[in-house]
A and B are shown apart, each in its own frame.
Chain A
Amino acid sequence: MQSEAEVPVVGPRDTDQAGVELEGVEKSFGAVRALAGVTLRVAAGETVAVVGPSGCGKSTLLELVCGLAEPSAGRVRAGPAALMPQRDALLPWLSALDNAALALRVARISRAAARTAAHQHFAAFGLEGFERARPAALSGGMRQRVAFLRTLLAGRPVLCLDEPFGALDALTRLQMQRWLEGALAREPRTVLLVTHDVEEAVLLADRVVLLSPRPGRIVAVLDVAAPRPRARDDRAVVELRERALAVLGADEAAPRLGGALGAGNGSSRAADRGFEGPGA
């Protein structure tokens, strides 16, 4: 375990701004509307999961928060954010250590200092002994841990995780979810976690935001009050998962959200926690 004093290596650039605020955010790519009126507030230190069907603009949401794209309408205010892209995006020619230290290298820290800083975390991340291994020689779970360490070492108060465990097998994913929970307990950050896995969202997040199919808008926000660490078979977890699935229309024949949307509104605090209709 790392002592709190050693980490983070690079301090957040703007500590008083660690939250995320989206107000009536729209995003279109040509004729395609990706996001339609999303209003969402993430408090500093909070973990919010964004769940929705594929193509609902989840990744676009993270790009807006990370400043990689500008909204077509509405306002995005966010503290400095680090992105962990889907499919780890590790550089195949760099060792695990150099991949983890990438953000430090971009911040113009010398190679030796960046490696030392990254190496301090290797034991806690279960990567000891693999410092010199290329990504191709690492298991899927280890690759994700290297990618997460790289994201963490960017030293930003906000982490945007885009389907971090989407490519892993079920067992590894379960282990990684537990591991991420532990890592975030050690190093609290504001986290926006995009996933299509409702269970993962309920296990890890303080709040779960449910998005509609494209154009994505918030159909419900569920508070997860259950104490941590949570287990998949905790009653509260199971209940919330079922509720979220019902809102997303998993048990509907029609893919559109019609009836489920109404049910979601009734059973959650959608209205006061950022739901806005398509006309807003």
Chain B
Amino acid sequence: MTAALALVALVGGWEALVRLGGVDPLILPAPTEVLDALWEDRSLLAPDLWTTTYEVVLGLAAAVAAGVGLAVAMHVSPALRRALRPLVIGSQAVPVPVIAPLVILVLGFGLAPKVLLVALVCFFPIAINLYDGLRSADPDARRLLRSLQATRWQALRLVEAPSALPAAFTGLKVAAAVAVIGAVFAEWAGAESGLGHALLTANGQLETARAFAATLLLFLLAIALYGACALIERRVVDWTPRTGPGGT
């Protein structure tokens, strides 16, 4: 409810500023003009939206696979933890816009570099949150499992993994929200379609309203991905008491 009010205030203020202030629509189009462009150019933008969604979902899936693998490996093996931790943290110091052209150079203009760059942006929050979650399992429950002579695998499956799920979903939601950034940078470095690509060409053609429309779609895509993850979380993690309804 409050989110809707804030949005209305923001968009209304923007519209008023452009209309009443006589701002050049080349620099800042009014929200109504952006919606116009979204409708007019829908046949142009729809394939771009599809491309980017595809890249982001695949990249996110790759990030989940890599993040879960890394977190579990680091959790189970102290040697791997020491070996991998600097690499995992260091990977986040890599500026995506800088390495995106290099990745494109190596992997070509296809889907692979986009998926890789989205995964690079996304795996970190997943891996770190899951890793912390695995470590935070109730020590009493751990002792109980040990007293039952449970194997390492049983302890992981019966106690540690379920208790890590809430934290893992927090990581996944962060990843979902930032995933589009990776896709846009990858498309800027070289692509034939996608919302990032649309943004770039629209800018070049001084179609500011269309550029804003593409940005709006990116914005909506991120929200939809986040919402989807939150929905899955609600289904899977159904034992933690919620403080209140999570409004959107």
Contact = CB atoms under 8 A, between A and B. Distances in A.
B138 A82 contact: no
Interface stretch (A60-68, A209-217, A260-268): A60-68
A143 B113 CA distance: 52
Interface string A55-88: 0000000010011100000000000011101110
Contacts of B159: 91
Contacts of B158: 91, 102, 105-106
Interface stretch (B8-16, B45-53, B73-81, B146-154): B146-154
A136 B237 CA distance: 14
Interface string B140-178: 110111111110001000110011010000000000000
Interface string A91-122: 11100000000110111000000000000000
Contact of B147 (A83, A92, A107): A83
A89 B141 contact: yes
A86 B147 contact: no
A86 B140 contact: yes
B240 interface: yes
Contact of B239 (A85, A106, A134): A134
B162 A91 contact: yes
Candidate in B144, B149, B240 with the most chain A CB atoms within 10 angstroms: B144
Nearest to A87: B140
Nearest to A66: B147
Given A91-B141, A91-B159, 13 more contacts: A67-B147, A68-B147, A82-B147, A87-B140, A89-B140, A89-B143, A93-B239, A102-B144, A102-B158, A106-B148, A106-B150, A107-B148, A136-B241
Interface of B: 138, 140-141, 143-150, 154, 158-159, 162-163, 165, 239-241
